């Protein structure tokens, strides 16, 4: 957050972030620990922009299965400004890379796949994003990547800050203001480059003028990614092609990412353990009540003027499975998960394993049939957001080119794993 927020829309909202075109506030949800973010645009919308925005939002609302974070409530405030309410995601891709450094190949592919699916679904619905960059890729409480801030109507109304976005903008966007599907795919290529390097393909050099940076975007060949599978490097190079017609289409991008994730020898996580191996946890003597409680999805009154509802975005923790499963005969790998430390609204997990493994945390809340997967890369500890009073089971999954293994299950709050 920078500067002082102007004219908060209602009491009870906490200033969160301040940008050139909007101020964002946090508001409490309807359950302990839940929050929503309320973005208040600095200027009223003209009728034409509001009609276009409503059209985009209606098209996106039909894409329930896509990893898209949509403004679930749009309200006109008494002073004429517009407020957009959406589920709060505590971390963006930009935040994560700043915190942990560049992502590993498995997590890069997971993020890229989610973004590519969101873009493909929106493009099929006739809605380009118009501003793909790390700040618009968010992680839900369960660790799943989602794409926020779709649509070009508000971008055309308020303009953009080229100095902040040049590294992720397609040449045709910089030269002619084009915001279409091909330009979004350029942004996806820049995003992939950012995941692996921590910077845009064309970062500004110290003291470099904005117009000189733009010329490099127009003329310089994109840098090749190092230390990635060759097919991934080729995909990024193709997405960053100067000419829109030379970039792969959405179908080709999804196929390439699927092939990379299935490639033999890639240290990719098994994100969906077989249902037979993952019985849902329950609390001793009170399983049925917990199962019913897990279905609650009611959400949030936002300030005096914003009332909205979201579909459950709280972490969907994993149910553990019996013995560790490995698809290879490469010899057992032992993963020891310490007893979870319950902090009421989050759990602290620590585990021990041999080096050079990629980890995921399988989190299962009582009453859930499938676990939520939270990627941990090479970390051996992780904080997992949980709901107070709910029973959970946790398991650590590890992968390497030799196979996939799981730890024993650990539970909290009398969960039977």
55 vs 14, more confident: 55
Per the listing, tokens 């969101």 go with: 118
- Identify whether the C-beta of residue 389 lies closer than 8 Å to the C-beta of residue 413: yes
Among 32-41, 66-75, 181-190, whose mean pLDDT is lowest?
32-41
Question: Strand, coil or helix: what is 214?
Answer: helix
Is there a single domain that holds both residue 286 and residue 257? no
- The pLDDT score that the predictor gives to residue 401 is 66
pLDDT of 308-323, one tens digit each?
Answer: 333 333 333 344 343 3
Mean per-residue pLDDT for 387-406?
86
CATH of the domain at 341: 2.60.40.10
Q: Does the pLDDT at position 115 exceed 80?
A: yes
**Which one-letter DSSP state was computed for residue 134?**
G
Is there a single domain that holds both residue 170 and residue 248? yes
Instruction: Specify if 216 maps to a domain.
Output: yes
Instruction: Specify if 56 maps to a domain.
Output: no
164 vs 100, more confident: 100
Total residue count of the chain as it appears in this document: 417
- The pLDDT score that the predictor gives to residue 205 is 84
- Identify whether the C-beta of residue 335 lies closer than 8 Å to the C-beta of residue 324: yes
Instruction: Specify if 335 maps to a domain.
Output: yes
Is there a single domain that holds both residue 250 and residue 292? no
Q: Does the pLDDT at position 106 exceed 70?
A: yes
- The pLDDT score that the predictor gives to residue 190 is 97
Instruction: Specify if 121 maps to a domain.
Output: yes
Torsion sign (Cα): 206, 207, 213, 219: negative
Round to whole Å and give the CA distance between 8 and 14.
Answer: 9
- The pLDDT score that the predictor gives to residue 377 is 75
Is there a single domain that holds both residue 239 and residue 99? yes
Instruction: Specify if 307 maps to a domain.
Output: no
pLDDT of 221-239, one tens digit each?
Answer: 988 888 889 999 999 999 9
The band of 262, judged by pLDDT with boundaries at 50, 70 and 90, is: confident
Distances (CA, A) of 235 to 116, 170, 247: 12, 16, 9
- The pLDDT score that the predictor gives to residue 264 is 38
Q: Does the pLDDT at position 119 exceed 90?
A: yes
Question: Strand, coil or helix: what is 335?
Answer: coil
Distances (CA, A) of 261 to 108, 112, 122, 232, 266: 10, 11, 23, 10, 7
Per the listing, tokens 């997971």 go with: 110
Per the listing, tokens 């033999």 go with: 264
Instruction: Specify if 140 maps to a domain.
Output: yes
Q: Which domain holds residue 158?
A: 91-262
Is there a single domain that holds both residue 246 and residue 292? no
Round to whole Å and give the CA distance between 308 and 70.
Answer: 12
- The pLDDT score that the predictor gives to residue 331 is 60
* Number of domains the chain contains: 2
Is there a single domain that holds both residue 129 and residue 247? yes
Mean pLDDT score across all residues of the chain: 79
Report for 82-86, 130-134, 206-210: range of highest mean pLDDT: 130-134
CATH of the domain at 160: 1.10.510.10
Is there a single domain that holds both residue 255 and residue 334? no
Is there a single domain that holds both residue 251 and residue 126? yes
Question: What tokens were used for 345?
Answer: 């609204």
Is there a single domain that holds both residue 137 and residue 206? yes
Is there a single domain that holds both residue 246 and residue 346? no
- The pLDDT score that the predictor gives to residue 280 is 58
Is there a single domain that holds both residue 257 and residue 320? no
Instruction: Specify if 40 maps to a domain.
Output: no
Other Cβ atoms closer than 10 A to 47: 7
Per the listing, tokens 């992780």 go with: 382
Instruction: Specify if 14 maps to a domain.
Output: no
Is there a single domain that holds both residue 284 and residue 210? no
């Amino acid at each position: 957050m920078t500067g002082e927020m102007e004219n908060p829309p209602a009491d009870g909202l906490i200033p969160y972030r301040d940008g050139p075109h909007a101020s964002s506030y946090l508001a409490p949800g309807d359950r302990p620990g839940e929050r929503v973010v309320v973005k208040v645009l600095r200027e009223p919308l003209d009728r034409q922009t509001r009609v276009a925005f409503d059209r985009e939002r209606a098209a996106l609302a039909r894409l329930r299965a896509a990893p898209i974070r949509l403004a679930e409530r749009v309200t006109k405030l008494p002073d004429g400004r517009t407020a957009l309410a959406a589920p709060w995601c505590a971390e963006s891709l930009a935040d994560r890379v700043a915190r942990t450094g560049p992502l590993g190949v498995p997590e890069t592919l997971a993020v890229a796949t989610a973004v590519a699916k969101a873009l493909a679904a929106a493009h099929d619905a006739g809605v380009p994003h118009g501003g793909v960059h790390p700040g618009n890729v968010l992680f839900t409480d369960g660790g799943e990547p989602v794409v926020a801030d779709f649509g070009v109507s508000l971008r055309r109304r308020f303009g953009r800050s080229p100095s902040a976005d040049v590294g992720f903008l397609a040449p045709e966007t910089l030269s002619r203001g084009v915001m279409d599907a091909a330009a979004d795919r350029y942004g996806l290529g820049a995003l992939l480059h950012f995941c692996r390097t921590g910077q845009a393909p064309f970062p500004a050099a110290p003291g470099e003028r904005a117009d000189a940076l733009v010329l490099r975007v127009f003329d310089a060949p994109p840098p090749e990614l190092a230390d990635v599978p060759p097919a991934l490097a080729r995909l990024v190079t193709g997405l960053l092609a100067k000419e829109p017609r030379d970039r792969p289409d959405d179908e080709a991008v999804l196929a390439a990412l699927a092939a990379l994730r299935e490639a033999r020898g890639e240290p990719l996580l098994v994100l969906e353990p077989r249902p037979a191996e993952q019985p849902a946890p329950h609390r001793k003597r009170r399983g049925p009540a917990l199962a019913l409680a897990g279905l609650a999805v009611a959400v949030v009154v936002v300030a005096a003027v914003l009332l909205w509802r979201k579909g459950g975005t709280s972490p969907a923790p994993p149910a553990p499975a019996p013995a560790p499963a490995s698809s290879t005969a490469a010899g057992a790998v032992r993963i020891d998960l310490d007893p979870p430390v319950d902090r009421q609204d989050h759990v602290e997990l620590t585990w021990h394993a041999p080096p050079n493994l990629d980890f995921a945390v399988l989190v299962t809340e009582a009453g859930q049939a499938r676990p939520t997967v939270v990627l941990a890369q090479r970390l051996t500890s992780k904080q997992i957001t949980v709901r107070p009073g709910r029973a959970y089971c946790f398991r650590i999954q590890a992968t390497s080119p030799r196979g996939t293994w799981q730890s024993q299950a650990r539970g909290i709050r009398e969960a039977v794993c």
